[in-house]
Amino acid sequence: MVKSAFFPFMKIAIAADHAGYCLKEKLRERLAAEGHQVVDYGPNSAESCDYPDFAHPVAAEVAQGGAERGILVCSSGIGMAIAANKVAGIRAVPVRSVEEARHTREHNDANVLTLGAKHLDEQAAMELIELFLHTEFAGGRHARRVAKIAQLEHR
């Protein structure tokens, strides 16, 4: 993919659990080949592990501004989203469709994408990631709503 000023290279934090390990490895390689700086938070094998242990460091890295976006892969994408959303400033969303990937960025300014390895092959996952990385936040009325989400974190 050719990048332009409109679609810059990004620093992306990525992780998985055992169910998402193989897909994560393929996605990591493809993103790096496209020129993105990819920081892999593990795991380093498909040995059984607990997804919160990998969701948290990715979410923390994104929340602290160390990475522009995060990608998490587990069996369904749901557990990773739940765990990542415990970190203040994170808007993690499990996505399975093109429309969801586009809206999660345009309307919700999501900063962490979670994917289900049980439901997506490499090509489908990459299509969703490309939309997630390159769709701009629409702002406007959506900015007001995202600001209200941030206020909930401080209650």
Mean pLDDT of all residues in 102-109: 95
**Which residue range forms the structural domain that includes residue 102?**
11-152
Q: Looking at 107, 119, 142, 154, which residue is catalytic? A: 107
pLDDT exceeds 90 at position 152: no
Residue 39 near residue 78, CB atoms below 8 Å: no
Neighbours of 92 (CB within 10 A): 27
- Asked, for residue 3, whether it belongs to a domain, the answer is no
Residue at 56: amino acid letter: H
Angle in degrees, CA 91, 106, 38, rounded to 5: 55
CATH of residue 21: 3.40.1400.10
- Asked, for residue 1, whether it belongs to a domain, the answer is no
- Asked, for residue 46, whether it belongs to a domain, the answer is yes
pLDDT exceeds 90 at position 54: yes
Which two structure tokens, joined as six digits, stand for 42? Answer: 């593990």
* Sign of the alpha-carbon torsion through 140, 141, 142, 143: positive
pLDDT exceeds 70 at position 140: yes
Q: Looking at 74, 103, 134, 142, which residue is catalytic? A: 74
74 is known as an active-site residue: yes
pLDDT exceeds 60 at position 1: no
Question: Domain tally for the chain?
Answer: 1
What gap in Å lies between CA 10 and CA 35, rounded to an integer? 8
- Asked, for residue 4, whether it belongs to a domain, the answer is no
22 is known as an active-site residue: no
- Asked, for residue 31, whether it belongs to a domain, the answer is yes
Of the pLDDT bands very low, low, confident and very high (cuts 50, 70, 90), residue 8 is confident
